[in-house]
Amino acid sequence: MPEPANIVPAPKAARIDHRYHPDKPREECGIFGVYAPGREVAAMTYYGLYALQHRGQESAGIAVADGRQVTLHKGMGLVAEVFSRERLQNLTGHLAIGHVRYSTTGASQPLNAQPLVFRYARGMLGLAHNGNITNVAELRQRLAATGSVFQSTTDSEVIVNLIARYGSSSLEEAVIKCMIDIKGAYSLLLITGDRLLAVRDPYGFRPLCLGELPQGGYVVASESCALDTVGARKLRDVQPGEIITIDQSGLSCQTVLSPRRRAHCIFEYIYFARPDSEIDGFNVNQVRRALGRQLAREYRVQADLVIPVPDSGTAAARGFAEESGIPFEEGLMKNRYIGRTFIQPTQDLRDLAVRLKLNPVREVLQGKSVIMIDDSLVRGTTSRKIVGMLRDCGVREVHFLLSSPPVVKSCYYGIDTSDESELLAASQTVEEICRTIGADGLYYLSLEGMLGVFGEYKHNFCTACFDGNYPVEIPAGGDKKAKYSLE
């Protein structure tokens, strides 16, 4: 791993225009923690967050502890924008936690950036949170009525207040009491001056895994790709309802809440997670390939080529081609250096932005009938533009296949999907969607087929966005404006 001296701050990127929403669900956070005396833990956290950048691009932060104090630096922007070499050199200690954010409760603003660091009865404490608390409004009202004050508008600060409220107990006992109070999705990392705690909700909605460094020390991260980046070996996933404590005595684990069932987010495999990550026993790339093979078994569509919508549709397209025997081609090339250029105040500029991101390969596509495979369909705006580009290239037929079932419900457990009224499949038939996006055919993977890929573990997933079966009670009225309910 390069030393911090080799870190070159990236140029400032343009800010996101929040009037524009990319036509995909968006993940809300990635978290990373390390306990490694004698190592450059701030630099390791920097690289770990870099590996998790796809999980959140609005803000980033690192908190480091040296045995007594917890030192924090955070800011708006990408990891490389927030941290310079000098910033990292000032973050000294032997344990650290880090966070990259995409907002689902509380607006994107500096006060809501994480980690949150505060003082309570037992000293300093830092917290990084991935997930969404579904009963946050009720808890915050209760805390405020008994004297709590809040600086941010995140659900994470409610967790902080609950832990402080139980400050007469040990930290582990306070966290357990907090876990009894809160409902919803949470993977947490906490640090005191000399301890690192990893916590996962009893349903295991959001991923969290544990790794070991070859020279000694431990790493905890949202995805195993971050462990690989810092040279750690994955030991296992943090179990639902488990608290892991890491300190100078080593590692100690306790399962404090037993779930009625597991409810891992299936969209981590379909779209969010990096394909090189392994989550709860399944490699993401292999799952996506298997979804593509299952899609081919469900639909015998005749065409000249199979092409993916890169990158998240690529593995499924390869699987479809393997099963169907139809040749795979890269018919759409992705600009890998687009970064955060999604500033599109007008429709014309939005159309140009799709062309900036994806460009069809005319020599491959002209005169062909193609099967185009993507991971999911949300609002259909981008899909319509891609189909239009293929037509302009002389593609004869476009059959659009999705490696997931229709998305018809909003998520309340840490994914920012569109409001239900904006979900295309919630309001239009397959034939109507075909006309909307201009495709010759539209085919969704069945729910049974998707779950069948996981074999005997098919009951371990949350599929609420496809079937409306929410494992944990959602806010009254299912109000998606809950993102701003604490503003």
Which one is predicted more confidently, 21 or 369?
369
Q: What is the tens place of the pLDDT at every residue in 15-38?
A: 333 333 446 666 679 999 999 999
Q: Pick the range with the lowest mean pLDDT from 147-151, 215-219, 237-241, 303-307.
A: 147-151
pLDDT of 476 strictly over 90: no
Give the bridge partners for 32, in sequence order.
98, 221
What integer pLDDT is reported at residue 351 of this predicted model? 64
Give the bridge partners for 128, in sequence order.
189
Question: How far is residue 60's CA from residue 146's CA, in Å, rounded to a whole number?
Answer: 32
SS3 268: helix
Average pLDDT over residues 327-352: 69
Query: Could you give the residue numbers annotated as active site?
Result: 29
The distance from CA 373 to its chain's CA centroid, rounded to whole angstroms, is 21
Is the pTM higher than 0.75? The answer reads yes
- How many angstroms separate the Cα of 186 from the Cα of each of 206, 248, 439, 442, 477? 7, 26, 39, 35, 22
**441-444 and 397-402 strand pairing:** parallel
Cis omega (within 30 of 0) on the bond before 310?
no
Which run of H or of E encompasses 34?
strand 29-35
Q: What is the overall mean pLDDT for the chain?
A: 89
The single residue listed with the structure tokens 């390939």 is 289
> Hey, what are 233's tokens?
């070996």
> Which has the closest alpha carbon to 65: 95, 38, 110?
95
Q: What is the tens place of the pLDDT at every residue in 56-99?
A: 988 999 999 999 999 999 999 999 999 999 999 999 999 999 99
